[in-house]
Every structure is written in structure tokens, then in C-alpha cells.
Structure 1
Amino acid sequence: MLLERYLDNNVIFYNSISKKRINITYLIFFGACVLIMGLRSITVGVDTAHYSAIFYTISETPWNIILTNWKTEACEIGYCILMKASASIFSSYYFFQFLIAALFNYLMLMFFRNNTKCYGLTAIIYLGLGTYTMAFNITRQMFSIAILTLAYDCFKKGNKKRSLLLYLIAITIHTVAVSFVLVYLFYLIKNNQKLILIVLCSIVLLTINFQIILRVVIKYVPMYAKFCKVSEQENSYGMIKYVWLVIAIISILNIYKYIKPSKHREDVPISVIKEYLNEDEVKTSRVITSLSCLVYVMCYCIGINVEFFERLGIIFVPFVIILFGQFQEQFIKKLLWKKTYSAIIFIAFF
């Protein structure tokens, strides 16, 4: 409640406060996130006690066993190395938990700052969408996602080798990180509008018709039937379905804005041409965000009926967080509408 009130009073209307105050507010906000996440009891979070037990087991496991097995105690080699290294410094799970909390929140903070100017809106969705609290439970996967955000930023800046290295490290933290390769593919086709349209249509059609495809798969490969959930579970998703619909609509609008022909004059000066080039770079970044968000929605829709499929969608959740801020930057220009939009987002997510 205190965090919500603090955001409501100090962060939500970021346009009305100075840049220095924004930085201080953001620092306090993420500092609080680190403290709450890092100092929580092992009874907070479904898997926290489980990870605590694994940590102490790994701390007593010889290095040669950890380094010669892809998984030890059901954890990938990268996470095991991190636990073992942490235990070598200070043999306490709380120290390791605080380390992960600090790294996770720092990497997410850097991703937000590099990809949107709507810091307050992003902070609200970071809490409201459940991304922050998910890190309390599925810690390994969320930490691998944080590493992937850094890999994405490196890739955008042209540092392909570092991006590839970070991508591989993320996979050693949690294997599901391999699905992030889709983001790299989206980046490779960023200048091909026809391919972008094909991908967009494919995602939409698959999302709408996945039950038909699922029935065909089960018919010819019956072993996959055990991964299907009972249909009654669809009702447990409630209002979140409407959030998915909004995410899909905003994503499609972003892509439409990119594909829609721009009116460029042939006799514009060099300075304006540079502005156009920078604008195109921003637009392509938003297209990648939008396609990733559509994959997120698709995975969660399929996850209604297919066990664990939503875990693939979680990989793309950072793009969902920045999507609303990018939409505001692109479509909402007047301050009054920005404040109204921010207030609606705040109410919707809390």
C-alpha cells in the first residue's frame, strides 16, 4: 500500500517533476524492491524454501560434480555455479537471495531506462503485472529473463558477441530462455515490412485457432494429451483475458504505425533527415516490442489449455512492461491525456 501511494503521488505524473527528482524517485523505488525481495523470509514465495534447501545442498557439492552436469538438484549449471560461488563467499542463503534481488532489479531498471521514457508508468506495470512478485517464486526463470534484457540492449547497440554470450549464460540459468531467439529473429526482419506482416498474421491466426491445431496434434500424437488442462480452468483467468486483449490491440497499433507510409519530403535538410533516421530506429524498436508482446499473449492463451506453455510467454514479459509507455510516447501527446492514460493504467493494474 505504501509503495502504491508513493507511486501515485510521485511517479505516475512524471512529466510534472524534474529529471533529478525522477532519478531519485526511481532509485528509491527500485531500492525498496531490492530490500523487500532480498530480505524476505523463506516462507514468502512458493519455491523460496525449496531454493533455500537446494542452496545448502549445492554449497556442499564438489565443484567437479557441478561442472560436469547440466543439472544438479534440478537446477541448470549456470545457476548452480552462481550458488556455489556465493556460498564460497558467504554460506548463507539470505546473502545469495539478496544478491539475486539486487542483480534482477538492477538489470530490469537498466532495461526500462534504455527502452522507454515513461518511467512512472513502467514502474506501475512492473508491480501490477506481477513481474516483480513472480521473481519471488520462479526465481531462476526471472533472473534469466533479466539477463536476456541486457542481451537485447547489447544486440540493439551492435554488440552481437556480448549479446550472444549473455544469451548463452541466460540459458544456463534456465533452459526456457532459449525461446528468446524469437526476439533476435524479429530484429533481423525489422526492415522487411512484408515479413513483419506475415509474422503478425501468423501469430494472430495461431492464437485464434490453437485449439483446432491442438486437437490435430493430440489425435496423431496422443502422448501430448497429458499436458492439456481441463477446460474448467479457463474460468480461473478472469479479467486477465481483457488485459491480454488490450496488449494485443496496442501491439497491432504499434505495428500499423510502423507499416503506414511516412510522408517525407525530398528537399528536407540533412538535420531533418537525421531526425527521420532516429525516428525509424525508434519505430523498429517498438515493432520488436510489439511482436514480442503478441508472442506473450499467444503463449498465455495457449497456456490456458496446455500445461506450462505460459512459462514460454513469461520470457517476453519485459516487453509488455515497456509496451504501455511506448504507446503513450507514440500516440498520446497532450499532457492531460497522458495523465488520464497513466491514471487508467494505475487503476487497471492495482
Structure 2
Amino acid sequence: MIYLYLVIIFVLGSALKNGFVLRSHSFSDENNIIRIRKETRWVFFFMIICALVMGVRAETVGEDTQRYMSYFYYVTSMPFGAVKIGAMNTGLDIGYVVLMKTISLIYDNYYFFQLIISLFICVGFAYFIIKNQIDTAIGITVFLGNGLFFAAFNTARQSCALTILLIAWSFLQEKKYLKVILLIGVASSIHMSAVLFLIPTIMFIFRKKKFIYWLVLGSTILIGVLYRQVLFFLASILPQYSHITSNTNQYMNIGLSSIVWIIVGVFSLFILKKSKLYNEKERIYAACALFYPFFSCLGLVVNSFERLGFYFMPFVPFVVDLFGKKVFRNNRIMFRIIVSTCYLVWFLFASINYPYQLA
């Protein structure tokens, strides 16, 4: 029921803000500034509500919440100098263990820690939406419906790492490369898979050098095709990740996800093909978004590989927004409404799943 309230708050709040928080350039510059400020406040307000829902959930909500709670109290019972032992015994990356221990010094309570992490994730995504001028209705509904919201219930470490990478993306566009590398390092210390963000980073930096751009894109696809060999090589040098080779012949139930993967793939390929309609930066967004269905499909046969697609999910609202601006430029309002409605319905369907029912 609480998820339905979230949808109602979003719909009512968006309607009060002139219909799904639309941006209009037909007003004066002063009025546009006022509208953007109101829009910014609205996005942060709604995402803080999402953070509260996420942060105060019981330990029975989410597949890994109970396990993370036990890890938290195990780590916080140790002296700071023993965090490395805590990381080894729990299997968590050292950065996340240090984060647990640091926050526990303020207040040694798991729910407090969970709330802080939830605020960081949701406010961080709100910052990403505003900073990159993503259509706010599409940005928020993709966050809810495409799985970023519920993913934080199950993979808090990875969601935390992703939020750091979204901040890095803003610095990347400002050409502050040292900060980008440092943030990727911090994110990787929280979840090692965050190093995968080097793919969009390299593609963005060398977007005008088509050879490097296509080399990175082609190499990633080749690695995906040769995933079995890659997996066993990684397992040999990183034993803690050997479990990823355990279910290469088991298929997951994908449900409605396959439809979304196809749509995102079609939108991305359209943008990549129509070079006259989209600039280099926009085609980078499309290439990165294409990795989301790519890794998700690999996740059908490889344990946890769908979580790699998680790092490319924030590029989906870019692609949806860019596609709508060009293809439905005369019916953008209707396009926003349809897209937002579909994602909200998908969000409500996802909320029926057992791990989230008790929120």
C-alpha cells in the first residue's frame, strides 16, 4: 500500500506542477528560472520521501536486509583497526565496511545506517536528474519502475557505489578527470564491480576518436560473447567471486523486463543510427544505455551478471527523453504521460513481489 501512496504523491505533485513537471521555454528567462527552481525542489522533495520509505523498512523487507543487518552489528562490534578482518569474514568490500564503522560512531544502530544510505542514494539520483537536465517525470518514473528503487533494497552496496559514480559522471562532463578517477576508486572500494564504469568514462573522453570509441564498444560485446572464458579467468584470480560461475545453465524468470530491454535497445540503436539528429554526447548516452539490456540478457545464464547492467540503468532516462524529443516532438506531453504511466504501473507490479510486501 505504501508504494501506491508514492505513486499518488508523484501524480498529484506533478499535476500541481503544471502537468508532469513540464519544462517550457516559451516563458521569459525569469519565469523559466523560477520554474526550474520549483522543479528542483519538487524532485528533491519526492526523492527524500522515497528515501524515507527505503530507509525505515523492516529487516524482512528486501532479500538481503537481514544479512546486511547482521554484518553491520558484526563489523561495528570490532575496533576500527580490525575492519580488514571484518571485510574478509563478511565478504564485503573494504570501503563499505569502513563506511559502516564510521557511521556507527555517530549512532550505533542499523536502521540509522540504513536511513543514511537511503538518503544518499535517493538524493544522489535527484542531483543526477537535475544536474543533467533529464526530464524529471521520466527520470523519477524510470528510477521507480526500472528497478533502481527496489535494487537498493537488495543490493545496498552496489546502489551506494552507483550513486558515487553518478556524481563522477557530472565531474566527467566538466572535464575534472582526477575527481572522476578518485570517485571511481571510492565506488570500487564499496563494490568492486563499479570499476565497470570505466567503460562509459573512456567512451565519453574519447567520443571524438571513433576508433577508440568503437574499440571499447566492440571489446565489451566480445567479452560478453566469450563470457564463460572470462568468468573462469576472473574466478581464478578473484576467488571471492567464484559463485558467478555456478548457474550458467539456469534461466531466470524475466517477465515484463524483456519488453523493457527490447524498447531500450530499439531506442538506443535508433539514436546511434541517426547521427544527423543526435550529437556525439547523446550517442554516448545511447551506447551506454545499450549495455543495460546487454548485461541483463547475460544475467539470464550467468549468476549476478544482470547486476552489471545496473550501472548503465541511469542512462535509460537519457535515451527515453532523447527519443521522445525527436520522434514525438509535436506530442511530447502525451509521450511523457504514456512513458511515466507505463513505468509507474511496472513499479506497482514489482511491489507485489514477496520481498517488498511488508514495507
TM-score band by shorter chain is 0.7 to 0.9
Q: Gaps (5+ residues) in structure 2?
A: 25-34, 237-241, 346-359
The one of 19, 22, 26 aligned to 1:15: 22
The offset of 1:99, in angstroms, is 0.8
Q: Deviations over 1:107-145 (max 9, x none)?
A: 111111122340111111110111111101100011001
Structure 2 residue 307 is matched with structure 1 residue 307: no
Q: Which residue of 2 aligns with 1:227?
A: 246
Q: Secondary structure at the match of 1:315?
A: helix
Q: Secondary structure at the match of 1:249?
A: helix
Structure 2 residue 336 is matched with structure 1 residue 342: yes
Query: 2: CA distance between counterparts of 1:71 and 1:90?
Result: 24
Query: 1: CA distance between counterparts of 2:284 and 2:168?
Result: 14
Q: Deviations over 1:186-225 (max 9, x none)?
A: 1133113455456656767887xx4xx56888999xx999
Q: Secondary structure at the match of 1:316?
A: helix
Query: 2: CA distance between counterparts of 1:76 and 1:219?
Result: 21
| CA radius of gyration, larger in | 1
Q: Which residue of 1 aligns with 2:6?
A: 3
Q: 1:92–1:345: structure 2 CA closer, same or farther, 3 Å change rule?
A: same
| Aligned 1:226-305 pairs, distance under 5 A | 226-230=245-249, 233=251, 236-257=253-274, 259-260=275-276, 283-305=279-301
Query: 1: CA distance between counterparts of 2:231 and 2:100?
Result: 40
The one of 138, 148, 168 aligned to 2:185: 168
Q: Which residue of 1 aligns with 2:348?
A: none
Give 2:185's aligned amino acid.
L
Query: 2: CA distance between counterparts of 1:104 and 1:218?
Result: 29
Q: 1:301–1:149: structure 2 CA closer, same or farther, 3 Å change rule?
A: same
Q: Deviations over 1:17-46 (max 9, x none)?
A: 843442332232112111111111111111
Q: Which residue of 1 aligns with 2:356?
A: none
Q: Which residue of 2 aligns with 1:269?
A: none
Q: 1:214–1:157: structure 2 CA closer, same or farther, 3 Å change rule?
A: closer
In the comparison of the two structures, how many residue pairs are matched?
320
Given that residues 112 and 119 in structure 1 are in contact (C-alpha distance below 8 angstroms), is that contact kept between their aligned partners in structure 2?
Answer: yes
Give 2:198's aligned amino acid.
V
Q: Which residue of 2 aligns with 1:323?
A: 319
Given that residues 118 and 326 in structure 1 are in contact (C-alpha distance below 8 angstroms), is that contact kept between their aligned partners in structure 2?
Answer: no
Q: 1:314–1:218: structure 2 CA closer, same or farther, 3 Å change rule?
A: closer
Query: 1: CA distance between counterparts of 2:62 and 2:153?
Result: 5
Q: Deviations over 1:87-110 (max 9, x none)?
A: 111111111111111111121111
Q: Which residue of 2 aligns with 1:149?
A: 166
Give TM-score, length-normalised by structure 2: 0.79
Query: 1: CA distance between counterparts of 2:164 and 2:148?
Result: 14
Query: 1: CA distance between counterparts of 2:134 and 2:245?
Result: 45
Q: Which residue of 2 aligns with 1:105?
A: 122
Structure 2 residue 120 is matched with structure 1 residue 115: no
The one of 76, 79, 82 aligned to 1:62: 79
Q: Which residue of 2 aligns with 1:265?
A: none
Given that residues 121 and 325 in structure 1 are in contact (C-alpha distance below 8 angstroms), is that contact kept between their aligned partners in structure 2?
Answer: yes
Q: 1:203–1:246: structure 2 CA closer, same or farther, 3 Å change rule?
A: farther
Given that residues 296 and 314 in structure 1 are in contact (C-alpha distance below 8 angstroms), is that contact kept between their aligned partners in structure 2?
Answer: yes
Given that residues 271 and 323 in structure 2 are in contact (C-alpha distance below 8 angstroms), is that contact kept between their aligned partners in structure 1?
Answer: yes
Given that residues 112 and 322 in structure 1 are in contact (C-alpha distance below 8 angstroms), is that contact kept between their aligned partners in structure 2?
Answer: no
Give 1:3's aligned amino acid.
L
Query: 2: CA distance between counterparts of 1:307 and 1:179?
Result: 17
RMSD (Å), alpha carbons: 3.0
Q: Which residue of 2 aligns with 1:125?
A: 142
